[in-house]
Amino acid sequence: TLDDLRAGAGAGMGDEDSEDGTAAVAAAAQEGVDMATMTDEELQSMPLGEYFVTTLSDGTEVELKPNGKAIPVTFANRNEWVDLVVQTRLYESKRQADAIRRGLSAVVPLKLLPLLNWRELEVHVCGRPVLDVQLLKANTTYGGCNAKDEHIQFFWQALTNFTPEERAMYLRFVWGRSRLPLTSKEFKRKHRIDLLRINTGDVNKALPLAHTCFFSIELPAYTTLEAMEDRLRYAFTNCTAIDTDGGPREIWSDDEDEEFE
């Protein structure tokens, strides 16, 4: 209110002390104006240090109304300025949001969307952001080994110990995606662990082998949990491409290409 503005001037508020009217108090102090003696009309028309412009997320400055750069914000029109800033910033991405809405409507009937909040919708569309170890375990099959084997127990303990980011990296390594289906019924293919037999050398230095197209991993029978964590982490951290993402010609030589012709 105007009385608050006068009280602020009397208290000598600086730029850092309050919100509404602080800039006006500071400007008046610099000009040597005693706001406590100003009439209501004079206070209403006194500039607050802003103009009818705002800056968008990309750094672009836009006018909130025609010739907004030349219209100062005053105590009288401050509410209009606030409303225009809020409206402009909230709707600056309307074109992009409308495009997303049209795309989403091609998959999900828009009438169903009000049944979910945005977090629930994200989970249904993208899956849970954190890999559910128990869900993956319940949808895993084995080849040449079984769930009771020591190295398999090390595997599940290692996956549990990993951070959410590392779990997502493992899933990408073994399947090419970072999130699981929501329920067991939605697994079109089961996660599979096969024994990778190491006949020579130290088994704890061997690396696992993933088959992303088949959602499977060939896993050496590591003898310690530390080895399991270290070798898995090394594999999914350093092998981020999926099969021939780099292009066949980066893998085969010209001579090898001729053999396939």
Predicted confidence at residue 246, as pLDDT, reads 44
Per-residue pLDDT at 249? 39
Q: Is the pLDDT of residue 211 over 50?
A: yes
Mean pLDDT of 241-252: 47
Taking CA atoms, 196 is separated from 160, 210, 241, in Å, by 22, 11, 21
Which range among 11-25, 60-74, 78-92, 219-233 shows the weakest confidence by mean pLDDT? 11-25
For position 258, what pLDDT does the model report? 43
For residues 190 and 173, what is the distance between their CA atoms, to the nearest angstrom? 15
**Long-range Cβ contacts of 50-58 (<8 Å, 24+ apart):** 50/23, 50/81, 52/81, 52/84, 54/84, 54/85, 54/88, 54/89, 56/88, 56/89, 56/92, 57/92, 57/93
Q: Kindly name the residue from 126, 145, 213, 239 that is annotated as catalytic.
A: 213
pLDDT at 210: 95
- In percent, the amount of the chain with pLDDT more than 90 equals 57
> Count H helices, E strands: the chain?
11, 8
Q: How confident is the model at residue 38 (pLDDT cuts 50, 70, 90)?
A: low
Question: Between the ranges 93-102, 146-155, 181-190, where is the mean pLDDT highest?
Answer: 146-155
* Residue 108 near residue 159 (C-beta atoms within 8 A): no
Q: Confirm if 187 and 210 have CB atoms less than 8 A apart.
A: no
Higher pLDDT, 103 or 243: 103
Q: What is the mean pLDDT of residues 122-132?
A: 86
DSSP 131: -
Average pLDDT over residues 178-183: 90
- For the chain, percent of residues with pLDDT exceeding 70: 75
At residue 239, the pLDDT reads: 85
pLDDT score at 150: 97
Token readout for 24 is 């006006």
Residue 58 gets the label, from left (phi > 0), alpha (psi -120 to 50) or beta, of alpha
Rounded Cα distance, 97 and 91, in Å? 9
The reply to whether 126 belongs to the active site is no
- The whole-number pLDDT of residue 102 equals 92
34 pLDDT higher than 70: no
How does residue 5 score in pLDDT terms, banded at 50, 70 and 90?
low
